[in-house]
Amino acid sequence: MLSLNDTYSTTPEMAAVMSDGALLRHMAAFEGALAAAQADAGLIPRQVAETIARAADALAFDEPAMFAEALKGGTVAIPLVKALTSAVREISPDAAASVHFGATSQDAIDSGLVLQLGEALVIIDREMTRLAEAAAALARAHAKTVMLGRTMMQPATPITFGLKAAQWLLAIAESRTRLRAHAGAALKAQFGGAAGSLGSLGDHGAATARHLATRLAAMNAYEPARAQAAAGTPLPWHTRRGALLALASELAIATGAAGKIARDVALMMQFELGETFEPAEAGRGGSSAMPHKRNPVRCMLTVAAALRTPGLMGTLLSGMVQEHERALGGWQSEWGALPELVKCCAGALDNMATTLAGLNVDGDRMRANFDALNGLPMTEMLALALAPHLGRTEAFALVEKAARQVGSGGKSLAEVVKADAQASGALPGAEIDRILDPASALGATQDFIESALAVWEGK
């Protein structure tokens, strides 16, 4: 059963993948892979490794009991290893001595996390793809749908809705590319033993680490990370958390990119604008007090997720300041922050992918909102057109004066400028109309949209 926090912040699928039980399952898988790697290195008999792996695969978890014991020892690896050792002992008392041989608690937890994150990134990648595809479809469909550009929450020059969607697309596409690169560096086996030297394994330590890296990489569900992960790391990364935090940072960036889309859509959903609407879903978006409301609930949840991620990243970055060969609190602070960050990212991407896939776009309303400003967003274009005839300073002063008349008198910019002898002497009325047509001021819009689509289609 999902908690209320998970219901708001993530998807049921991701809640299951990032659950405590899932981490325990992956930690047990690490123990089986470790035994197999030690057999590969000639450290333990193959039959012993197979017994451990079989017991690890079938291990049942009494989570409440394990968590109670974890509180005493400060790590859930202790009760897990105890449970696995008991399970192996029932099969082969001799094999039980080789469980967790040479490893430390952090090896099991970090390597389990790596496998857990691999499953999570399969979902994240899929949701990023869904969101990017939906944004790409909007960019194509609305490449010529003129709307008001807005800067600092004020009217600016014209753009198209397709250009806005192309910006959304490129933000997600670029984040997906970076995430894949970071995953290869981060999703690597952790194996250093008590103090990072593998001293208890003697001459077999380095070979075991290499075999373990290969085995855990092959087990990882996230295919883009496997090749780089199989190479392992030069040293254990017990207190060297940079690669993992680079991956976490990109998850935060992806969440922020989804939050930016959500903010845009929600602003355009304001009744006064009415340019976009979240797809209609039965029971979603209503108000407990006002029957007329159509609230942007998916946008709301996405913005909330984006607002949470800086604090979670702050915790992760603060935790990098660790003591000697094993952290006292820094590493442990990741245990709550990182799963929450992953879950927030998945929830944000899912909400916005669903929103954009079914987004209601009112192009007529976009144009009406632009036209309601009586040409004011076109002052830059008009001043630039008059400058060769009047001089830049004089042209900008004339247009500024005309804009004030538009604002106070209710006339359009075209009417005011055509009535000005100086302006009408410089430009004929038909040319003024052409200059003030927003479709003539879109510049590189189409090229930019096509460039963003090309990046995505090349993936």
Active site residues: 287, 326
- What letter represents residue 140's amino acid? R
- What letter represents residue 212's amino acid? L
Tokens of 384: 């630039």
- The 3-state secondary structure of the chain reads CCCHHHHHHCCHHHHHHCCHHHHHHHHHHHHHHHHHHHHHCCCCCHHHHHHHHHHHHHCCCCHHHHHHHHHHHCCCHHHHHHHHHHHHHHHCHHHHCCCCCCCCHHHHHHHHHHHHHHHHHHHHHHHHHHHHHHHHHHHHHCCCCEEEEEECCEEEEEEEHHHHHHHHHHHHHHHHHHHHHHHHHHCCCCCCCCCCCCHHHHHHHHHHHHHHHHHHHHHCCCHHHHHHHHCCCCCCCCCCCHHHHHHHHHHHHHHHHHHHHHHHHHHHHCCCCCCEECCCCCCCCCCCCCCCCCCCHHHHHHHHHHHHHHHHHHHHHHCCCCCCCCCCCCCCCHHHHHHHHHHHHHHHHHHHHHHHHCCEECHHHHHHHHHCCCCHHHHHHHHHHHHHHHCHHHHHHHHHHHHHHHHHHCCCHHHHHHCCHHHHHHCCHHHHHHHCCHHHHCCCHHHHHHHHHHHHHHC
HSE-up of residue 428 (Cα within 13 Å, Cβ side): 2
Asked whether the beta carbons of 298 and 278 are under 8 A apart, the reply is yes
